Structure 1
Amino acid sequence: MLPRVIIIGRPNVGKSTLFNRLVGKKLALVDDQPGVTRDRRFGDVELAGMKFTIVDTAGWEDEDPSTLPGRMRAQTEVSISDADAVLFVIDARAGLTPLDNEIGNWLRTADVPVIVVANKAEGRSGDSGILEAFSLGLGEPLGISAEHGEGTADLFEALWPIIGEKSEAAEALVALDEDEEDENGVPTGPLKLAIVGRPNAGKSTLINRLLGEDRLLTGPEAGITRDSIAIDWQWPDPQSGETREIRLIDTAGMRKKRNVVEKLEKLSVADARRAVDFAEVVVLLLDATKGLEHQDLKIASLAIEEGRALMIAINKWDVAAEPSKLFNGIKFALDEGLAQVRGLPVIAVSAKTGKGLDQMIAAAFELRETWSKRVSTSALNRWFDDALEANPPPAPGGKRIKLRYITQAGTRPPRFVVFGSRLDMLPTSYERYLVNGIRRELGFGAVPVRVVLKASKNPYAEGC
């Protein structure tokens, strides 16, 4: 493993800005209001050739452990258990606060090296705050500006004696290829599995159940998750006995667009949409106590439009009323509301008891395999010829539409190109006939299938 460096500090000192600066991407949500970050977020850093994992944490607040801020602090406290170093971030312009001193007292009792980082020290505005930070008794503070990228060289010099040797040793062992395929073209890298749904459907609770630990912040409050959090996990397949790699992606709950008015929630929803685009398989988590709502169909349509393989999991099955009626009703509503991908896998699960979770993961691997499937050109055109013979294309206005051949242009999602003449006259209903035939006859099931019509370049084709 790469060495792990944890960012800790009170709210609004610039922890997530520093995280984004080090990873070189805007992965963590950043806003002026305090308490934006709630769950731990991991990122890979290469700083002047030194590689390590950086962990962003929630702002430390002195609140009752049963409250949301208190539970956020507990997540932060847990984060240093496997840390190689801690970056304790303070606001150099504001100077030390009583909460900074409380965090410093706690860190002095921890068995982990601590580097005090005085952020927002651009110009000379933070000089007094840097001098104050000496009183923490945690060594010489570093003055930096995460927003402007100042002080990263000093940060490297401070971290190298602590993690440099471990970074070099780990680098020789790290050789991950997430897009690796076997000889049949089936992906063998980690399954990128995103869990999406409305607020309070139980997404974070489900992931915690899979992991067997309270990795993500949960509670009765709706909308706890803000950032999309990716977690690498190994699933012990009960059927084969093998261990399979998965990257679980937790996302913020998606409410109806008209209800999303706050800037921070808009950022969270946009982050969730990006997570869908990053995923291979998307699990739409429904709440069994609320059934299928219009917003669920909107979220499902988003995943399908992005070309992701989609499946449905009905959570809280242990408290569902009339479960058989509910299950059949949801399947019927899905077929009606998502006619373009009828037959989506639907699985009843319970994040509380663990019911159906292994079945859900196994189905996700099968779905990815289908989503990545490639059909040989010969087999594809045999099907195509049979489909044309069974139902020839129409001849609008007496003009014959000629469909010549088909080829598979890509996978993930499956993409096909149909070549012919007068394709602009081909009815949409006939395109649906071809797409449904590909799904039904060639084994693509309910994964999104793209069919593109391409006119022949032969100048004599129109007369054929």
Structure 2
Amino acid sequence: MSFTAAIVGRPNVGKSTLFNRLVGKRLALVDDRPGVTRDRREGDARLGDLEFTIIDTAGFEEAPAGSLPARMREQTDAAIAMADVVLLLVDARSGLMPLDKTFGEIVRKANKPTILVANKSEGKAGESGRLEAYELGLGTPIPLSAEHGEGLGDLYDALREALPDATEFPVEDEIDENAEGGPIRVAIIGRPNAGKSTLINRLLGEERLLTGPEAGITRDSIAVRLDWNGQAFQVHDTAGIRKRANVQEKLEKLSVADALRAIKFAEVVVLLLDAMHPFEEQDLRLADLVVREGRALVIAMNKWDLIERKGGAGHLREEVDHWLPQVKGVPIVAVSGLSGENLDRLMKGIVDSHEVWNKRIGTSALNRWLTSATSQHPPPAVSGRRIKINYVTQPKARPPSFVLFTTRADAVPEAYRRYLINSLRESFELPGTPIRLMLREKENPFDDKSSR
């Protein structure tokens, strides 16, 4: 059987380090300061011949109801409830703390198989702290060093003992970027407090991600699976991205880097704008970044329920085309993550953008277009010499990429390139998607003869 394991413990005992070690990737942010993890993060872990789901959780402290630490604790409680086995981590170097005993009571009341792990046990410095962990009454503490990968064999034996029915099962292949029929990978990005986590929670129909009035709650890029009208999606919630000049702290730099990584691995990126303050400079920079990365783009205007003139959505089309001419026709949807308004239109926009992003056009149709486009507006003469464009082809999609073979590739003006791109977009219905247009010089068969 497959199973789910939750890693819990007080702040800064190494939960995210162990999570990364088990999944074999640096998915969770790790830093020396406590309290880096806030949301619960799930990953596919492997240990020996076992493959299972692992959940990283926030290390919580006692806090008043409704506060951010209290909401973080709710996420940890949900992870414990989902788990088949709980890995309770303590810090062997610092010894047993009162909060460790609190966690011991929590997992004891949960009535789940619990494995006590004494992390940071490398060397002799952690021996005394590991022995102190016996006071929790949760069995023999397993000495482990998540950072150096020591003690994983003992953890494997403990999992086998705690879940004797657990067996190995076929490893699922990672999603191929060019595979068809798999989930559409979506990254939702935007400035801090634009409502990204609230929107995803509304799509899921549950409070899966941590939300609140505080800006910058999300730190890790959290991936969740979503099924909408029979179509599977893998949606990444990301940290809010501020201007580079305002990002000073190391932790925020790590969060932004994680968000940028989510953009690179996404197929469709939803740029979430705040309807109260739309089209700020940072929004335009993020849109331009998505285009340069070659990802399909959807603009979502969030908090639309706060705008009084609800009938004024028509002007958004003109504004977007004005501010983002490089992706003219990009889908724009006015939504409300709080009330759920227009979520169907948003998901349809994502699917439509994904289809355009994957679109391929036949070579014969492209060359008919080329003949028409160059006859209407011939290439200009540069330095008294005409530029001749011979033919065009599409070597790849995702995004649609075209190669034009011409006599003088370096002499084609940028304005004429833009004309050709806009003509391609209109002629073959490629609204909103980035278009790559590369110019290559056709080989001259007489070059060798002239040199001889």
Q: TM-score, normalised by structure 1?
A: 0.93
CA contact (8 A) 2:160 2:166 kept: no
What is the match of residue 266 of structure 1? 253
Aligned ranges 1:52-451 → 2 under 5 Å: 52-163=52-163, 165-168=165-168, 171=170, 179=177, 187-235=180-228, 237=229, 243-325=230-312, 327-451=313-437
Q: 1:125, 1:293 → 2: CA distance?
A: 52
Q: 1:333, 1:50 → 2: CA distance?
A: 53
What secondary structure does 1:227 align onto? coil
Aligned ranges 1:44-55 → 2 under 5 Å: 44-55=44-55
CA contact (8 A) 1:178 1:190 kept: no
Q: Give 1:180 shift.
A: 6.8
Change (3 A) 1:167 1:196: farther
CA contact (8 A) 1:2 1:51 kept: yes
Q: 2:93, 2:360 → 1: CA distance?
A: 58
Q: How many residues align?
A: 449
Q: Cα deviation per residue 1:300-338 (whole Å; 9 max; x = unaligned)?
A: 11111111111111111111133444x455433322222
Q: 2:60, 2:114 → 1: CA distance?
A: 16
What is the match of residue 7 of structure 1? 7
| Partner amino acid, structure 1, of 2:324 | L
CA contact (8 A) 1:199 1:222 kept: yes
Q: 1:165, 1:461 → 2: CA distance?
A: 73
Q: Give 1:374 shift.
A: 0.7
CA contact (8 A) 1:180 1:188 kept: no
| Partner amino acid, structure 1, of 2:204 | L
Q: 2:414, 2:208 → 1: CA distance?
A: 47
CA contact (8 A) 1:44 1:51 kept: yes
Q: TM-score, normalised by structure 2?
A: 0.95
CA contact (8 A) 2:275 2:304 kept: yes
Q: CA RMSD in A?
A: 1.9
Q: Cα deviation per residue 1:111-146 (whole Å; 9 max; x = unaligned)?
A: 211111111111011111111111111111111111
Q: 1:462, 1:196 → 2: CA distance?
A: 53
Q: Percent identity?
A: 53
Q: Cα deviation per residue 1:408-434 (whole Å; 9 max; x = unaligned)?
A: 111111111111211111111111111
Q: What runs of 5+ residues in structure 1 fail to find an aligned partner?
A: 182-186, 238-242
Q: 1:78, 1:343 → 2: CA distance?
A: 42
Q: 1:46, 1:381 → 2: CA distance?
A: 51
Q: What runs of 5+ residues in structure 2 fail to find an aligned partner?
A: none
CA contact (8 A) 1:199 1:254 kept: yes
CA contact (8 A) 1:2 1:171 kept: no
Q: 1:114, 1:363 → 2: CA distance?
A: 45
Change (3 A) 1:265 1:48: same
Q: Give 1:175 shift.
A: 6.8
What is the match of residue 184 of structure 1? none
Q: Which deviates more, 154-163 or 343-352? A: 154-163
Q: Give 1:388 shift.
A: 1.5
Q: 2:360, 2:154 → 1: CA distance?
A: 51
What is the match of residue 439 of structure 2? 453
